[in-house]
Amino acid sequence: MEVQKNNKNKEKTPARKDLLRAIPQVDEVLHWFSRETAPLFLIKQSIREELEALRQDILAGKKVGKLDLGKKKLLDRIGARLQAKQGPNFKRVINATGVVIHTNLGRSILPDSAGKALVEAGTRYSNLEFDLATGKRGSRYSLVEQLLCDLTGAEAALVVNNNAAAVLLVLDTLARDREVIVSRGQLVEIGGSFRVPDVMAKSGARLVEVGATNRTHLKDYEAAITDATALLLKVHASNFKMVGFTKEVAAEELVQLAARYKLLVMEDLGSGCLLDMSAYGIRREPTVQETVRAGVDVVTFSGDKLLGGPQAGLIVGKRDIIECIKKNQLNRALRIDKFTLAALESVLRLYYDHETVVSRIPTLAMLAASPRVMEQRARRLARKVIKLLAGRCAVAVRTVGSRVGGGALPEEDIESRCVELAPLDRTVNELERSLRLNQVPVIGRIEDDRYLLDMRTVLDDEVPLIATVLARVFGVDL
Ligand SMILES: *Cc1c(COP(=O)(O)O)cnc(C)c1O
């Protein structure tokens, strides 16, 4: 039987060399396209790529028939390539992962008000470096410095491209060729290859590790102090958690120790929250204000993690130190652009109003959203698709745990609701793929052979859009 079957197949499948010969010439295919649809070079590129892909498939013995080389099929496939090339590479996606500060999906999303400020900064002239009061040259940092001081209680502030740059710049300014003492429990690696020891090496500061992995005492820091010591550095263990027999030294104690030896204290807070979110069931993190109040000389944190603003590295601290950092030549290379400034100012201003800030900053609003709100959103989506997908996919609402993300509060689940999809006509991996390849990609997650759309990170106006996408993917007419 087996042999016969193979023979039969052989008769049906045209010989490899016949197929190769049947691949049309680029110029021939070019005539099938109207020149107006796309730039000529893109049409040619798409044709070449498709014909080459077919050639490779044939050579590899993949299933290619005469039909695949016909005008209709070829036009379809080359058309799809052309369309993909003409669409944007960088596009909006729907985040249904439940990870609020999702590093791969753009971390924090901005409030609409910040979006407006961003567009205006880009499409109109501005006072970026022009002091309107004096008519003279101004400093771009002055546009946000006072806000940062008001919100954190610091004497001075500076903003650079991201927190990694902030740490590098501070170390380069304060500790180049000198020693920096860090607890072994805080030599963290953040995603995207930020490692405390490596950044330290780049800055030219010498790392002095103290303590044990799980426990570091004040006396460990003290014993390591020499004439070459410049800084005591504390790093927030953002993305991991130590449990059990552990000990860290509080910022206040480090500050007292440093004062005795005339040293400086720096803290890299990582996420840098300005707000205690424990009222919303999110574990308390040290806020920037508390760290400043503890007397830490210079504090660095990200703009696009818990702060909920644009990508930026914020540096706040004592005035004389910040002035020194501002003068570092490296600062010029790490400076922020006008888009960041516009968005950052806009977001920081929202923090002035304690009553409304959580509802206005998407990152905070998503973290604060109650299970009841998640439930309503999930039910709304489920109602829309349950009948549409009947017979094709089972739909249910389920309780899940969302994550903060962005290296903040690891191991911490926030109770959420998801719409759970169990496709009947395809595998869950196929469903994942078609949602991901949709024009507006929908990104959820797979758990126990089910596809989950976590409602925590889905915006209300995205619910009908997801329903439409699901109908399309399952081939249902709306
Ligand atoms: C996230 C993080 C960084 C890096 O910040 P970016 O803004 O991503 O450059 C540095 N240190 C800590 C502790 C962090 O959590």
- Cα(398)–Cα(377) distance, integer angstroms: 12
Rounded to the nearest integer, the mean pLDDT of the chain is 92
- Cα(51)–Cα(394) distance, integer angstroms: 40
The alpha carbon of 232 and the centre of ligand 1 are apart by a number of angstroms equal to 18
Q: pLDDT tier at 3 (50, 70, 90 boundaries)?
A: very low
Range 65-84 average pLDDT: 90
Q: Which of 203, 234, 238 to mutate to test the pocket of ligand 1 (most atoms within 8 A of CB)?
A: 238
Ligand 1, atom nearest to 303 Cα? 7
Which of these ranges, 8-22, 84-98, 148-162, 360-374, has the smallest mean pLDDT? 8-22
Ligand 1, atom nearest to 304 Cα? 7
C-alpha 255 chain-centroid distance:
33
- Residue 157 clears pLDDT 50, i.e. is over it: yes
Which protein residue has the closest C-alpha to ligand 1 atom 3? Answer: 270
- Residue 77 clears pLDDT 80, i.e. is over it: yes
Q: pLDDT tier at 2 (50, 70, 90 boundaries)?
A: very low
Phi/psi at 360 (5° precision) = -90, -25
- Cα(163)–Cα(188) distance, integer angstroms: 14
Range 144-156 average pLDDT: 98
Q: Which of 104, 159, 163, 170 to mutate to test the pocket of ligand 1 (most atoms within 8 A of CB)?
A: 163
Ligand 1, atom nearest to 312 Cα? 7
Q: Greater confidence, 346 or 37? A: 346
CA angle 174, 175, 181 (to 5 degrees): 120
Residue 474 Cβ contacting ligand 1 at under 6 Å: no
The 3-state secondary structure of 64-98, one letter per residue: CCHHHHCHHHHHHHHHHHHHHHHCCCCCCCEECCC
CA angle 320, 325, 326 (to 5 degrees): 95
Which protein residue has the closest C-alpha to ligand 1 atom 12? Answer: 270
- Residue 1 clears pLDDT 50, i.e. is over it: no
- CB-based contacts of 234: which residues, under 8 Å, 6+ apart? 182, 183, 186, 249, 251, 254, 265, 266, 267, 268, 296
Which of these ranges, 39-53, 95-109, 134-148, 188-202, has the smallest mean pLDDT? 188-202
Which of these ranges, 213-222, 366-375, 466-475, has the smallest mean pLDDT? 213-222
Nearest of 374, 451, 443 to residue 106 by alpha carbon: 443
Burial of 200 (0-12, 13-18, 19+ CB in 10 A): buried
Ligand 1, atom nearest to 407 Cα? 15
Residue 159 Cβ contacting ligand 1 at under 6 Å: no
Ligand 1, atom nearest to 313 Cα? 7
CA dihedral 395, 99, 366, 195 (to 10 degrees): 180
Range 231-237 average pLDDT: 93
Which of these ranges, 107-111, 164-168, 242-246, has the smallest mean pLDDT? 242-246
Which of these ranges, 74-83, 221-230, 240-249, 349-358, has the smallest mean pLDDT? 240-249
Residue 257 Cβ contacting ligand 1 at under 6 Å: no
pLDDT of residue 411: 65
Range 403-431 average pLDDT: 88
- Residue 72 clears pLDDT 80, i.e. is over it: yes
The 3-state secondary structure of the chain, one letter per residue: CHHHHHHHHHHHCCCHHHHHHHCCCHHHHHCCCCCCCCCHHHHHHHHHHHHHHHHHHHHCCCCCCHHHHCHHHHHHHHHHHHHHHHCCCCCCCEECCCEEEEHHHCECCCCHHHHHHHHHHHHCCCCCCEECCCCEECCCCHHHHHHHHHHHCCCEEEEECCHHHHHHHHHHHHHCCCEEEEEHHHCCEECCCEEHHHHHHHHCCEEEEECCCCECCHHHHHHHCCCCEEEEEEECCCCCCCCCCCECCCHHHHHHHHHHCCCEEEEEEECCECCCCHHHCCCCCCEHHHHHHCCCCEEEEECCCCCCCCCCEEEEECHHHHHHHHHCHHHHHCECCHHHHHHHHHHHHHCCCCCCHHHHCHHHHHHHCCHHHHHHHHHHHHHHHHCCCCCCEEEEEEEEEEEEECCECCCCCEEEEEEEEEECCCCHHHHHHHHHCCCCCEECEEECCEEEEEHHHCCHHHHHHHHHHHHHHCCCCC
The alpha carbon of 194 and the centre of ligand 1 are apart by a number of angstroms equal to 7
- Residue 80 clears pLDDT 80, i.e. is over it: yes
Query: What is the share, in percent, of the chain residues with pLDDT greater than 70?
Result: 95
Residue 186 Cβ contacting ligand 1 at under 6 Å: no
Residue 286 Cβ contacting ligand 1 at under 6 Å: no
Residue 235 Cβ contacting ligand 1 at under 6 Å: yes
CA dihedral 159, 162, 164, 167 (to 10 degrees): 10
Range 431-441 average pLDDT: 96
The alpha carbon of 322 and the centre of ligand 1 are apart by a number of angstroms equal to 19
Range 422-435 average pLDDT: 97
**Bridge partners, 318 (sequence order):** none
Task: Check if the beta carbon of residue 386 is closer than 8 Å to that of residue 395.
Answer: yes
Phi/psi at 158 (5° precision) = -150, 150
Q: pLDDT tier at 323 (50, 70, 90 boundaries)?
A: very high
- Cα(375)–Cα(372) distance, integer angstroms: 5
Q: Greater confidence, 392 or 7? A: 392
Ligand 1, atom nearest to 408 Cα? 15
The alpha carbon of 190 and the centre of ligand 1 are apart by a number of angstroms equal to 6
Contacts 24+ apart (CB under 8 A), 286-295: 286/236, 286/251, 288/151, 288/152, 288/316, 289/151, 289/152, 289/153, 291/251, 291/267, 292/152, 292/153, 292/154, 292/316, 292/317, 293/153, 294/250, 294/251, 294/252, 294/255, 295/251, 295/252, 295/255, 295/265
- The encoded tokens of residue 277 equal 């979110």
Residue 408 Cβ contacting ligand 1 at under 6 Å: no
Residue 303 Cβ contacting ligand 1 at under 6 Å: no
- Cα(257)–Cα(248) distance, integer angstroms: 14
